């Protein structure tokens, strides 16, 4: 089987829970539901893995403390041993050889024990993947579809499995929606969402604001920008290391290789001063901006730098071959 991953999901090997945790997996799930910051869900539908999702990474700490207090171990030689934290967009926060992770379809990220088949998905009973209506394209699996556009009664979809694009005619009467209130100016909405995170903001001047977030490797600075015209929030997370001019060509190759296949955001480097950023963005359109949305924009950069920065430094300041370093980071 496979397990659902949403937001920040703690995945624990059930065999270790049953051996080390008093009362086993059932007791651990019961204890996590009693935490002050309750999980979004706690699921034991997979016979091999237990998955507990939290809205924010700091909420996970109390659950990991429960595990480590009873001998369920986080790390062994720089690799996840008994449990691992997985972000829905970026995968495991640390190297984890026993877990396979991938994006299964729009809005669905899953993980399963290495060496096994993914099989059925273990998820809360009330959970349902967001997907386009099946009636819009009956010859395609709904979970494989992503809507690209809707113009003058013609909807364009992309089949994520095959790469095929196709159009579907829509009855205009089916698209009628109640009139919505005027959207909040995007900068104000961004500031409200950032305030909900309880992060300390500084250099706040429309249309931008900055926050600092500490990862496993360094303290990173994230600059948010509200682009009012396209109603898009852009977040540029910068690492504290500046690439020397003599090694920027190697860094460029590393960044290009690292970017290939990334699902959310990407690295970029200033050729003038050697600053390295991770850029993410989110188009709000007529929707609402939430704390989770602005949080994911910055944490994606933090997790990406934590994963790739040590290998980038080995290339820049050492003699590590670029392709080997990227493969090591991707492993």
Instruction: Tell me what pLDDT residue 130 has.
Output: 44
167 with 155: CB under 8 angstroms? Answer: yes
Domain boundaries, the chain: 2-122, 134-175, 186-330
If one compares 267 and 104, the residue with the highest pLDDT of the two is 267
CA distances from 25 to 14, 48, 69, 75, 314 (A): 6, 10, 15, 20, 40
Asked if the model's pLDDT at residue 151 lies above 90, the reply is no
46 with 14: CB under 8 angstroms? Answer: yes
Residues 221-239: what's their mean pLDDT?
91
Instruction: Tell me what pLDDT residue 176 has.
Output: 42
Q: Tell me the pLDDT band of 125, cut-offs 50, 70 and 90.
A: confident
Q: Tell me the pLDDT band of 147, cut-offs 50, 70 and 90.
A: low
User: Order of strands, edge to edge, in the sheet holding 154-159?
Assistant: 145-151, 154-159, 165-169
Asked if the model's pLDDT at residue 3 lies above 70, the reply is yes
Residue labelled with tokens 């959207």: 183
Q: Tell me the pLDDT band of 224, cut-offs 50, 70 and 90.
A: very high
Cα 130 to Cα 143: distance, rounded to the nearest angstrom: 8
Domain 186-330 sits in CATH at 3.30.1460.70
If one compares 218 and 150, the residue with the highest pLDDT of the two is 218
| Token pair in block for residue 331 | 């492993």
Question: How far does Cα 318 stand from its chain's mean position?
Answer: 30
Cα 233 to Cα 158: distance, rounded to the nearest angstrom: 24
Residue labelled with tokens 């060509």: 249
Phi-psi region of 20 (alpha: psi -120 to 50; beta: other; left: phi over 0): alpha
Strands (E), 66-107: 83-87, 91-92, 99-105
Instruction: Tell me what pLDDT residue 157 has.
Output: 62
Cα 106 to Cα 195: distance, rounded to the nearest angstrom: 29
CA distances from 168 to 104, 130, 285 (A): 24, 19, 22
Q: Tell me the pLDDT band of 136, cut-offs 50, 70 and 90.
A: very low
């Amino acid at each position: 089987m496979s397990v659902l991953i949403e937001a920040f999901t703690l995945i624990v090997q059930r065999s270790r829970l049953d051996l080390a945790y008093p009362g086993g997996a059932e007791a651990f799930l019961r204890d996590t539901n009693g935490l002050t910051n309750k999980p979004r869900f706690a699921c034991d539908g997979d016979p091999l893995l237990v998955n507990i999702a939290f809205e924010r990474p700091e909420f996970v700490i109390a659950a990991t403390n429960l595990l480590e207090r009873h001998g369920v171990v986080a790390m062994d030689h720089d690799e996840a041993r008994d449990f691992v934290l997985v972000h829905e967009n970026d995968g495991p926060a640390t190297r984890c050889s026993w877990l396979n992770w991938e994006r299964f379809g729009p809005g669905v990220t899953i993980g399963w024990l290495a060496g096994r088949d993914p099989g059925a998905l273990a998820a809360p009973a009330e959970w349902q993947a967001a997907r386009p209506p099946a009636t819009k394209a009956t010859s395609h699996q709904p979970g494989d579809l992503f809507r690209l556009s809707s113009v003058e009664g013609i909807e364009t979809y992309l089949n994520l499995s095959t790469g095929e694009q196709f159009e579907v005619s829509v009855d205009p009467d089916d698209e009628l929606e109640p009139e919505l209130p005027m959207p909040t100016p995007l900068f104000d909405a961004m500031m409200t969402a950032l305030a909900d995170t309880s992060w300390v903001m500084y250099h706040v001047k429309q249309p931008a604001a900055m926050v600092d977030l500490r990862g496993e490797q360094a303290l990173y600075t994230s600059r948010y920008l509200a682009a009012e015209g396209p109603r898009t929030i852009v977040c540029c997370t910068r690492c504290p290391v500046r690439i020397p001019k003599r090694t920027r060509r190697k860094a460029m190759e590393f960044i290009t290789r690292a970017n290939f296949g990334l699902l959310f955001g990407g690295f970029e480097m200033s050729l003038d001063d050697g600053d390295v950023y991770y850029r993410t963005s989110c188009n709000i359109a007529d929707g609402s901006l939430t704390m989770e949305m602005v949080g994911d924009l910055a944490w994606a950069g933090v997790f990406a730098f934590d994963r790739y920065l040590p290998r980038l430094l080995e290339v820049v300041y050492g003699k590590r071959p670029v392709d080997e370093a990227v493969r090591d980071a991707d492993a």
